[in-house]
A and B are shown apart, each in its own frame.
Chain A
Amino acid sequence: MAACSSNSNMRREEQTEEKKKAREKSAKKRSKEEGDEGDEGEEIFSFKDKAAVDEEEDDDLSDSEDSVYSGLEDSGSDSDDEDDDDKDDNEEEEEEEDGSGNEDEEEDLKTETQQTGQTEQKKTTTMKKKKEGKEVTEEEKVNEYEHDSSDEEDIRNTVGNIPMEWYKDFPHIGYNLDGKKIYKPIRNKDELDEFLDKMENPEYWKTIHDKQTGRDIVLSDEQVDLVNRLQRGQFGDVNFNEYEPTVEFFTSDVMIHPVTNRPADKRSFIPSLIEKEKVSKMVHAIKMGWIKPRRVEDDSKGRYYDLWTGEDSSLVAKHKMHLPAPKIPLPSHQESYNPPPEYLFTDEERALWDQQDPSDRKLPFVPRKFSSLRQVPAFPRFIHERFERCLDLYLCPRQRKMRVNVNPEDLIPKLPKPKDLQPFPTTQSLVYRGHTGLIRSISVSPSGQWLASGSDDGSVRIWEVCSSRCMKTVQVGGAVKSISWNPNPAVCLLAVAVESVVLILSPSLGDKQVISATERLLSGQQEAETTEGEGPVSWIETEGEELNQGIHLKIQHAKAVQQVAWHAKGDYLASVMPDHSSHLQVLIHQLSRRRSQNPFRKNKGLVQCVSFHPIRPYFFVATQRCIRIYNLVKQEMTKKLQANSKWISSMDVHSSGDHVICGSYDCRLGWFDLDLSTKPYKMLRHHKKAVRGVAYHRSYPLFASASDDGSVIICHGTVYNDLLQNPLIVPVKVLKGHEITHDLGVLDVTFHPTQPWVFSSGADATVRLFT
């Protein structure tokens, strides 16, 4: 930056004018003196120099007369900055050729000029007269040249080119010749002053703070102009012509005569050794193949020919593992620039699209509609999509995926028609209503005439099957967990599990003979009472009200009884008291001798339910995961069936004793063939919720399962005598009717002993008969 110090430009200019003159004179004088004093050679040299300078000046003038006199130049000389120096240097390179000696003397000169003053002026007058003609130009030139020296800079900046922060905290910058501090101009402008200055001072915009001296400098118009021009990338000089015609250094015409007349050297006739060496090196390099000859331009790259001329099919033995890349899927209607309106997004769809992660989106773009083709913009992701395709082609692992192309109908197994497997219950025909709580257990009398149901409302009801009439209601004073009719058709007895008591109940229905036989059975036991010791249970005879209701015996257990099960003969009765920690979970009671015993010495897990083998002396015990079969005669375990389910809920044994079904709380029904394996032959997952009850029909090949999803599923299960033929297990009917209350659906299911009818009891306090 050209830094300008004075605000009184004019005055200074005058001063400098004077100084210049003075300096010039002194310079001339000096040179003369030197000439006088020093040796001849130097004088000659300086004279020569002068002449050269003069010539140059003439040239300059002829080229651009104004350049020297421009205001810019003046102000530039005023500013005497380094930048200006550089510029001047460029212009005056020729002038400065006159040697370093001259330059070295410059500084001495300056001081001298100041000191010498007027006296020397006289001496130089003679010289002045001689060069009258060229005086003006020379004066200017020399002045300018002289001015390049930093005499004024010395005054202003005495510290040199150092970071000015060093003087930040001092009131001065550097020292003058006398060793006095040069103080910074007083500068106490705060922000407000600055602002006011900015607002009021019209010259604020061209005021510059000079760090070197700590002063503010206002640029003159010319300087501003110069700055502008430089910023625009133009020459600093307004009048400089950049497009001057070239002056040829040599003529372009071929001359007839050589420029010099010098005879050719001797060496031009002798083969050069150095060249020979170089050539031999190259030859060697070529021989060794280090340097290759320049390649012939091969244009065959872009040339096409029939590549597949000798194409024969034997070549086509393809790489076995090659998977051709799948083609890009073809666009659908959504991609159209003018799609049918139904393919455009609604607001919700759009919002959803915006929310979704780009990888989750069904469409990678939003369908848009344009009313005409000219409005269609470029697709912003075009290159992206192309690039992604490229990446897919070479980065994406390929794998052959077999697409299953099956008709779903073929997957459905072919089953015999349910019509051919009749009879089985199909419709709901009767509903037995009367209970107020959920009915946990039902049982049908061996004659098939009566149905007993035990409910959580604390009552046992006995219904006539055909008419759905409630024949009898017995209040037992607690929720009935299990109820079971004595399978002996000669007697009419019910075993009811209420809390920790098992009640033996004689409903006294039906034949008088049967009733009397029952009475006899119950009364005849009294003699045997003596044999009863201090067992795990106590047998209590009932009296009064309870006896009137038909309750004859109470078997008091230590814990709550969950289930009761009769032996097929009707004399033995098993009761289950599930308990994790005790071996006393199952008790077998003998009714005729009023005796109870605990068959197991060890706890083998939580017992869920028990059952007697219908024919042989076997006893089935279902624990949480498996069913154990005990031989009662030998008193040992004969088999252990793995149920493959988490928690068995119920179990039933077929009347032949060969097959067992068990339902579980994890929605499964397992069908076991005892002869085949200890694993279920078939697991049926028909129910959606826990299976609560399962039942076999005594004579028909049917079994039923009841579940919490409110349905009873009847399955047909035939086992053939031919061992090679697989048993046929087919679901034949889904019976629905029970309502689901408190997440409980059907709780118990049982078949009619002779008819293909099924009874089910549910949490909706009804018993239903399906025929």
Chain B
Amino acid sequence: MGGLQKKKFERGSATNYITRNKARKKLQLSLPDFRRLCILKGIYPHEPKHKKKVNKGSTAPRTFYLVKDIRFLLHEPIVGKFRDYKVFVRKLKKAYAKTEYSDVERLKDNKPTYKLDHIIKERYPTFIDALRDIDDALCMCFLFSTFARTGKCHVQTIQLCRRLTVEWMNYVIASRSLKKVFLSIKGIYYQAEVMGQLITWLVPYQFSHDHPTDVDYRVMATFTELYTTLLGFVNFRLYHSLNLVYPPKMDSKSDLELKGEDEEDYAMDSESYLEKLSALSTSLARVFSSVEDEEAQLDQFPVEGEDMENMEAREKEQKQQETQTKLFEGLKFFLNREVPRESLAFIIRCFGGQVSWDKSVCIGSTYDATDETITHQIVDRPNIDKQYISRYYIQPQWVFDCVNAKILLPVEDYFMGVTLPPHLSPFVEEKEGDYVPPEKLKVMALQQGKKPEQEEEDEDEEDEEGEDEEEEDDNDDDEEDEEEEAEEKSLKKMEEQRSQGKSLQVKVTPGKVKVENPARLEQEQKAEEKRLAIMMMKKKEKYLYDKIMFGKKRKIREANKLAAKRKAYDDAEKAKKKKARK
């Protein structure tokens, strides 16, 4: 008794969340503007723990934002800009309607614009934060840079995206930070390690896009607006971290080299520079023309025990990385016109190789196909007319596989017109018990410096053994049961005969000595103990345990399924080969 009556939903989680419509009303924004604001500011809905409490007892599906987030939006200067823009559009409409074209001109001159710099700074207070979140920005910019210059968005945006992506690629080349590449059916995945952050991005294959109708390009454009700003600042910082000039300039040496005769009629002046940059064939100018960069030696610290091992492991890794960055050093590639030039040039340059292409394919080729010093020519056609003995003709997958394997793979499997070995994803890290495709095992063996042929057989045997063991494990229980059952049956038979009053065929057979395997007995006992203990589990824990075990079993099942599929395939292949031989 006494005191004020407590009202429902006036404290607790109900006051921490706000529905979207309410938030919109509070900010006095239209829905599209609200969405834009959310995209730019990185505000997203939150899923409350107790939806019914937050929803004031209703279970209707609603999206909730944190009240704090919305309050944070209230002070955003961009909101004012949105309103200005709305007013501007209204004025412009009016001016058009009144056919006051001088006013239209004046208004257009004063079109309100806004900058996103402060938002970037606010969302990513440190540079590392920005780097961590740059995956999506890269994917989006790479996608937009492949759009046609008509239609779906402003040409300036596309050009800006292209510029930024080219800058990014040039940075990756200059810093040699590319780690993994993967040719998927969607596009080409790249992974680079920049300042300790793994950054993955996806580049679509170079085709014109079939623009879908059920995609809201305004949303994409808003994201791109943000991402281009972010990427620009990140690029700036990255270039400066390497003492490179930003916006990127080509090295004066190479610039001179490139000033070929055909350049004038290639493109307009304004574009040709970007084109040359995007050719990715030249090194960039540095702020200080530095001596060839020396690898900073890691200082040795006195360490003990475990740390020692760690240190050694780290050093080893570092060494491996170094060798990887110099993977293609000393190799001279030539790209045929049918291979994806940009991605291959990018990868080869990332790992220190020299690369060129036909003059008519793109600007920036440095040497001709007739150059005798070319070591590898990348082709993607069944045969070629004129072949040089001094070079390998290989398919583009070789480059990708080499990068992922971190060694130069034998070229035999990748010769022109040869059926390629499967291309594996470098992003999969198999854990204990996962299925590992045999190709991966082969590559791993190669990495350890073993010869491929012997290894292959060994592996096969090993594999089989492993499988057998598994099967045995499965069978253990069954066998036992079977034995018991057999005993039971014989006993039953005897019983029946006895009960029927028949004279038993009394026969004394020498008893078999049951060999009891102590290890096995112990194992069984342990298994039984475990079973009993599982019976005693609490309901909640049992549920969790069952779930975990179910997941594990499913994983094993999937791995087995893949292995079986592979085996069937291999068998079929073998049979085919045998037939062919006959």
Contacts and interface: CB of A to CB of B under 8 A. Distances in A.
B498 to A, nearest CB: 9
A374 B338 contact: yes
Contacts of A341: 422, 565-566, 569
Interface stretch (B1-9, B38-46, B267-275): B38-46
B125 A311 contact: yes
B432 to A, nearest CB: 14
A219 B438 CA distance: 80
B454 interface: no
B536 A331 contact: no
Interface in B181-216: 182-187, 189, 200, 204-205, 207, 209-212, 214-216
A368 interface: yes
A328 B422 contact: no
Contacts of A327: 135, 200
B545 A413 contact: no
A733 B495 CA distance: 27
B236 A305 contact: yes
A742 interface: no
A383 B45 contact: no
Interface string A283-305: 00000000110110010111011
Contact of A433 (B186, B209, B499, B537): B499
A234 B43 CA distance: 59
Contact of B184 (A302, A335, A395): A335
Contacts of A170: none
A509 to B, nearest CB: 22
Contacts of B47: 397-399
Contact of B64 (A339, A397, A411, A412): A397
Contact of B210 (A340, A372, A380): A380
Contacts of B537: 411-413
B359 interface: no
Interface string B123-141: 0111101101101100110
Given A373-B395, A415-B532, A734-B532, A431 B45 contact: no
B219 A390 contact: yes
Given A332-B427, A336-B182, A379 B204 contact: yes
Nearest to A301: B115
Interface in B417-464: 419-420, 422-425, 427-428, 437-439
Contacts of B437: 333, 340, 342
B536 A415 contact: yes
Given A394-B38, A411-B537, A342 B182 contact: no
A665 interface: no
Contacts of B468: none
Interface string B15-35: 000000000000000000001
Contact of B186 (A319, A385, A408): A385
Given A304-B235, A340-B437, A387-B215, A331 B207 contact: no
Contacts of A391: 219
Contact of A382 (B204, B232, B339): B204
A300 B491 CA distance: 96
A199 interface: no
A133 interface: no
Most buried by A among B240, B338, B339, B424: B424
9 contacts: A300-B115, A311-B126, A315-B125, A330-B189, A346-B565, A370-B185, A378-B205, A397-B44, A418-B529
Interface of B: 35, 38-39, 43-47, 49, 63-64, 66, 68, 106, 109-110, 113, 115, 117, 120-121, 124-127, 129-130, 132-133, 135-136, 139-140, 143, 160, 182-187, 189, 200, 204-205, 207, 209-212, 214-216, 219-220, 223, 232-233, 235-237, 240, 246, 338-340, 380-381, 395-397, 419-420, 422-425, 427-428, 437-439, 491, 495, 499, 525, 528-539, 541, 544-545, 548-549, 552, 562-563, 565-566, 569
Interface of A: 291-292, 294-295, 298, 300-302, 304-308, 311, 313, 315-316, 318-319, 321, 323-325, 327-328, 330-333, 335-343, 346, 365, 367-368, 370-374, 376-380, 382-387, 389-391, 393-399, 404, 406, 408, 411-415, 417-419, 431, 433-434, 684-686, 730-734
